[in-house]
């Protein structure tokens, strides 16, 4: 049974997010019944497919992208080191790694429990999301295709993009 108060707040937050996306001229598809949004961004190297979901029951919105490549089995342990190194550098969000299936996700979330979230907050969410997904996706692919050692991977990811 859906909590009407939670649903109302989720719908309000959904509306604010859509309004921000419209203002910034994003192309997106929305499902107003399930409160989900699909869109994408073009990164420096790889495309970033984006899925946004409003969890009504738990009062938060989550933005997720899945890296558009699977990690070969022989590089799955190494990739855990790469993902950890990237996470160590993040100010927000998380790279999530399914070691069993060889899948990497990037995730950011925002809680809207009894809040009035602004378009600015959603702009921060989407801007940072795209920036960090783009910063590391190609690095992960390089690690997957390489034979870098664990120490080399840790150093490579932590110094990526540094001047």
Partner 1 sequence: MPKINQKNEIQDVYKMLCSFLDKYQWHYEKEEENGIVRYGVNGEDLPMTFIIEVDKEKELLRLVSPFPFIIEENKRVEGAIITSYANYKIANGCFQYNYSQGNILFTMTSCFQGSFISEPFLYYFIIYSLNVVEHYNDKFMMVSKGLLSVEDFVKNE
Please say which residue, 65 or 93, places its beta carbon nearer to partner 1: 93
Cβ at position 119, least distance to partner 1 in Å = 7
Cβ at position 156, least distance to partner 1 in Å = 12
Cβ at position 162, least distance to partner 1 in Å = 16
Please say which residue, 50 or 78, places its beta carbon nearer to partner 1: 78
Please say which residue, 46 or 105, places its beta carbon nearer to partner 1: 105
Please say which residue, 42 or 158, places its beta carbon nearer to partner 1: 158
Cβ at position 3, least distance to partner 1 in Å = 12
Cβ at position 57, least distance to partner 1 in Å = 11
Please say which residue, 13 or 37, places its beta carbon nearer to partner 1: 13
Structure-token pair, residue 79:
């990739």
Give the DSSP H/E element, type plus range, for residue 17: helix 4-23
Instruction: Give strand pairing partners of 130.
Output: none
Over 63-115, what HEC string results? EEEECCCCCCHHHHHHHHHHHHHHHHHCCCCEEEEECCCCEEEEEEEEECCCC
Give the DSSP H/E element, type plus range, for residue 36: strand 36-42
What gap in Å lies between CA 116 and CA 118, rounded to an integer? 6
The CA-atom distances, in angstroms, between 92 and each of 95, 132, 139, 141 are 10, 9, 18, 21
Structure-token pair, residue 138:
């190609």
Binding site for partner 1 (CB under 8 A): 9, 55, 58-60, 62, 77, 80-81, 83-85, 87-88, 90-100, 105, 107, 109-121, 123-125, 150-151, 154
């Amino acid at each position: 049974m859906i909590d009407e108060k939670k649903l109302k707040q989720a719908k309000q937050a959904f509306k604010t997010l859509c309004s921000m996306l419209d203002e910034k001229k994003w192309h997106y598809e929305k499902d107003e019944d399930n409160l989900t949004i699909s869109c994408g961004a073009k990164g420096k190297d790889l495309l970033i497919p984006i899925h946004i979901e409003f969890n009504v029951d738990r009062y938060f919105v989550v933005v997720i992208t899945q890296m558009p490549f699977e990690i070969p089995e022989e590089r799955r342990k190494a990739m855990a080191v790469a993902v950890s190194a990237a996470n160590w550098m993040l100010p927000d969000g998380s790279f999530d790694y399914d070691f069993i299936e060889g899948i990497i996700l990037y995730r950011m979330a925002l809680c809207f429990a009894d809040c009035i979230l602004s378009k600015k907050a959603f702009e921060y969410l989407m801007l940072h999301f795209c920036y960090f997904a783009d910063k590391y996706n190609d690095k992960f692919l390089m690690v997957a295709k390489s034979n870098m050692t664990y120490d080399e991977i840790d150093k490579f990811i932590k110094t990526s993009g540094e001047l």
